[in-house]
């Protein structure tokens, strides 16, 4: 999987690899990232890593459960749903399996987007681009930069009309960069019901 993606990433995308190996896109992302880390470690050490576990998995596949046709299935509430139908209703309803499939696909896309967002954040942490240590958060010599949120015309925040910008130590301001937008997006609450993966 990793060799295919590395040789031709435009053809062997995450979506295509997920369909080919019949696993979820999240698992493909995790496998590709793991192989990237292993390749970097091999370059640092100058020798291949221990692959005894992979050899064991290949030689004794009957002792391990392999993932086949892995996909997310939405959990539906098991209670009656009574509705008052409009006049002129012909008595036909949508297929419950079709509704269940559409709901599963919507939830799967939400879970996938959240997984990619968290994985990219973890990649930045491993690359020391996210400051997590208290000594790395000391006051800069030229002062702090603060994120300011200006309220909208009706005193609303966020999507209700407000916008955010950075106020710099010298008194000037600038729009948020991609790094800062990522943190704002991570702090935004997700107003949705709990999805059980």
Contact 169, 144 (CB under 8 A): yes
Nearest Cα residue to 107 out of 22, 192, 188, 187: 192
Q: What is the mean pLDDT of residues 38-58?
A: 84
Q: What is the mean pLDDT of residues 159-163?
A: 61
Q: What is the mean pLDDT of residues 115-127?
A: 85
Q: How confident is the model at residue 32 (pLDDT cuts 50, 70, 90)?
A: very high
In degrees, rounded to 5, the angle at the alpha carbon of residue 128 between the alpha carbons of residues 122 and 131 is 90
Q: What is the mean pLDDT of residues 84-107?
A: 83
Amino acid 13: pLDDT: 93
Whole-number Å distance between alpha carbons of 82 and 80: 6
Whole-number Å distance between alpha carbons of 23 and 69: 6
pLDDT above 90 covers what percent of the chain? 11
Rounded to the nearest integer, the mean pLDDT of the chain is 81
Amino acid 66: pLDDT: 63
Put simply, whether the predicted model's pTM sits higher than 0.95 gets the answer no
Better pLDDT: 71 or 106: 106
Contact 101, 108 (CB under 8 A): no
List alpha helices for the chain, DSSP H.
2-7, 14-21, 25-45, 52-59, 96-126, 178-187
**DSSP structure class, residue 167:** E
Q: What is the mean pLDDT of residues 132-157?
A: 73
């Amino acid at each position: 999987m990793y060799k295919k993606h590395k040789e031709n990433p435009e053809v062997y995308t995450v979506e295509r690899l997920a369909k080919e190996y019949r696993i979820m896109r999240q698992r493909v992302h995790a496998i590709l990232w793991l192989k990237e880390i292993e390749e970097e470690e091999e370059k640092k050490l100058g020798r291949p890593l221990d692959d005894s576990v992979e050899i064991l998995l290949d030689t004794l596949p009957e002792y391990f459960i392999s993932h086949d046709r892995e996909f997310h299935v939405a959990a539906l509430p098991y209670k009656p749903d009574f509705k008052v139908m409009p006049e002129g209703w012909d008595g036909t309803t949508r297929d419950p399996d079709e509704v269940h499939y559409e709901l599963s696909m919507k939830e799967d896309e939400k879970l996938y987007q959240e997984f990619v967002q968290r994985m990219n954040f973890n990649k930045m942490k491993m690359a020391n681009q996210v400051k997590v240590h208290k000594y790395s958060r000391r006051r800069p010599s030229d002062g702090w930069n603060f994120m300011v949120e200006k309220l909208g015309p009706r005193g609303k925040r966020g999507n209700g009309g407000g916008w955010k910008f950075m106020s710099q130590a010298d008194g000037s301001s600038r729009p948020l960069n991609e790094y800062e937008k990522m943190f704002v997006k991570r702090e935004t609450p997700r107003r949705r019901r709990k999805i059980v993966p």
